Amino acid sequence: NKLLKYITYKNKKLSEVDIKTSQPLLMYVILKNIFDDSMNNESTIFLEKKLGVELLGKIKSNGIDFEELDNFGDVILNKDLYNYLVSRVKIKKDSNNEYYYIDRSVKPNKKVYFNSKRDLIKSCMMRALYNGIGPEITSIKKQFKSIFNVADLINKHKKISDSKSNLSHVLQSFEAHVLLDLIAKDISVKYKDIPLFSKHDSLITYKSSIDEVRDFTQKQFKIYTGIDATNSFVVKNDSFS
């Protein structure tokens, strides 16, 4: 990432469109498309194939708390999920006033330190989705019980890939499908004269075109997922400056 500021393309500056809180957002999109019968788009078709009849049946039988799901979506789409959880999860602080959690996935257990409460919660949220353990994760799961019940159900299902976590595989595959297979191709058709690169959960192109690409990405995301995630797509100029 430190080298990005030195990268240009044909002597033109670059910028990126980043998906804010991407993994929780994609989890929300997936659950909304599974449990909302009014949804019928590319996402529902992809999920039926990716999850399979057996696992999809288990998820639907498990059910979801719709009020909780709507709150989860509202926090992700209109607020800041990690700051929301900071005020609801007890966070450890050592004698030097540094925030940490204890990683119990390794032996011996070790302390993992963070510069801010938000950074710690972000890490714990990912661990909560992917089979992590610890008091912070337990607290996060209590905030969205039915959502993490589904996450645990997916992770405990027989392996659907070589990935350590079923849910990790599903989220990454879904993101690649929507962002790269669908939206990136649409961008390349509409904007033939600009380059397009991908980096994790972001798309990179000329800085002069980035706002237009972001607006188009927002529009296409809603078409393919049924979710208006306008606030989730942000331009990050600092990576290349």
Residue 60: half-sphere exposure toward Cβ, Cα within 13 Å: 14
Tell me the C-alpha distance between 170 and 176, whole Å: 10
DSSP conformation letters of 60-110: HHH---HHHHHHHHHHHHHS-HHHHHHTTS--EE-TTS-EEEEETTSSS-E
Residues 6+ apart with CB under 8 A from 183: 203, 217, 220, 221, 224
Strand (E) or helix (H) holding 236: strand 233-236
The band of 1, judged by pLDDT with boundaries at 50, 70 and 90, is low
Amino acid 58: pLDDT: 96
- pLDDT of 55 reads 95
User: Mean pLDDT over residues 5-13, rounded?
Assistant: 89
Contact 128, 148 (CB under 8 A): yes
Q: What is the rounded distance in angstroms from the CA atom of residue 219 to the CA atom of residue 49?
A: 24
Cα–chain center distance at 31: 13
CA distance 223 to 47: 16
DSSP state of 130: T
What is the per-residue pLDDT across 106-128, written as a single tens digit (0 to 9) for each?
A: 889 999 999 999 999 999 999 99
Classify residue 207 as exposed, middle or buried by CB count within 10 Å of its CB (0-12, 13-18, 19+). Answer: middle
> Given this model, what pLDDT does residue 69 score?
98
Q: Write down the pTM of the prediction.
A: 0.94
Q: What is the mean pLDDT of residues 49-60?
A: 95
pLDDT score of 241: 66
Q: What is the largest CA-CA distance in the chain?
A: 56
**Cis geometry, peptide bond prior to residue 135 (ω within 30 degrees of 0):** no
pLDDT at 217 over 90: yes
Q: Is residue 145 scored above 70 in pLDDT?
A: yes
- Bridge partners for 233 per DSSP: 19
pLDDT band at 140 (very low <50, low <70, confident <90, very high): very high
Mean pLDDT of 160-165: 84
Q: What is the mean pLDDT of residues 41-55?
A: 94
Q: What are the strands of the beta sheet with 197-199, ordered from one edge? A: 197-199, 202-206, 14-19, 233-236
Angle, helices 145-156 vs 42-62, to 10°: value is: 100
Mean pLDDT of 128-152: 95
